């Protein structure tokens, strides 16, 4: 399964495979503990995960004042 999480260090959206316990953030290089992070969405499908990330990033761009995740409609 894939989790969409926020990096606790840089707050960017990253995708993590639950086969691993940690994910290295591609943005800031932090080692992110997957289950200690804020989970924005989860899916079995890597393509869906990519689509969710794009959707969330578009939201971020619109809400330029904050990157806080509010709600996600699949």
Which of 65, 44, 34 shows the shortest CA–CA distance to 14?
Answer: 34
Distant-in-sequence, close-in-space partners of 52: CB < 8 Å, separation ≥ 6: 4, 40, 41, 43, 72, 74
Token pair for 64 = 């330029």
**Which CB, 10 or 59, lies closer to Zn ion?**
10
**Which CB, 28 or 59, lies closer to Zn ion?**
28
Please list every residue from 11 through 50 that binds Zn ion, using CB under 5 A. 25, 27-28, 30
**Which CB, 8 or 55, lies closer to Zn ion?**
8
Residues that bind Zn ion (CB under 5 A): 7, 9-10, 25, 27-28, 30
């Amino acid at each position: 399964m894939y989790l969409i999480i926020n990096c606790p260090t840089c707050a960017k959206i990253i995708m993590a495979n639950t086969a691993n316990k940690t994910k290295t953030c591609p943005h800031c290089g932090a080692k992110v503990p997957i289950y200690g992070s804020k989970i924005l969405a989860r899916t079995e499908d890597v393509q869906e995960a990519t689509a969710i990330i794009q959707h969330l990033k578009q939201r971020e761009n619109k809400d330029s004042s904050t990157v806080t995740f509010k709600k996600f409609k699949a």
